[in-house]
């Protein structure tokens, strides 16, 4: 995501009620990630960084998708996994 990227309006997505007050924008929607071609990443090393508490489900799904691509593709994408915990989002 480029620094100048403004993301997508949160009203374009179905958001759980308990996140409505905390969520301002969506930067990368789930479908956009699934539509991206991982073939372009074959020559890169991915560093996957999960923000704990809020991002674990998305992170697990993303890693499962990469794992499936690695198992079914002609080449594997090397992945390093790490986790961070953020004290506050404000």
Domain ranges of the chain: 1-37, 42-89
Q: Does residue 19 register a pLDDT over 60?
A: yes
pLDDT digits (tens, 9 = 90+) for 26-76: 777 667 766 665 555 666 788 888 887 777 888 888 888 888 878 887 777
Indicate yes or no: pTM above 0.75. Answer: no
62 vs 4, more confident: 62
**Hey, which bits of 32-73 come out as E strands?**
46-51
Q: List all residues 6 or more positions away from 40 whose beta carbon is below 8 Å from its beta carbon.
A: none
């Amino acid at each position: 995501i480029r620094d100048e990227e403004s993301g997508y309006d949160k009203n374009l997505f179905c958001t759980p009620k308990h996140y409505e007050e905390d969520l301002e924008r969506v930067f990368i929607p789930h479908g956009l990630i699934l539509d991206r071609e991982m073939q372009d990443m074959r020559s890169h090393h991915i560093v996957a960084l999960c923000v704990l508490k809020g991002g674990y489900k998305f992170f697990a799904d993303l890693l499962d998708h990469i794992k499936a691509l690695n198992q079914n593709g002609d080449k594997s994408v090397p992945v390093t996994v790490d986790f961070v915990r953020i004290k506050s989002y404000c």
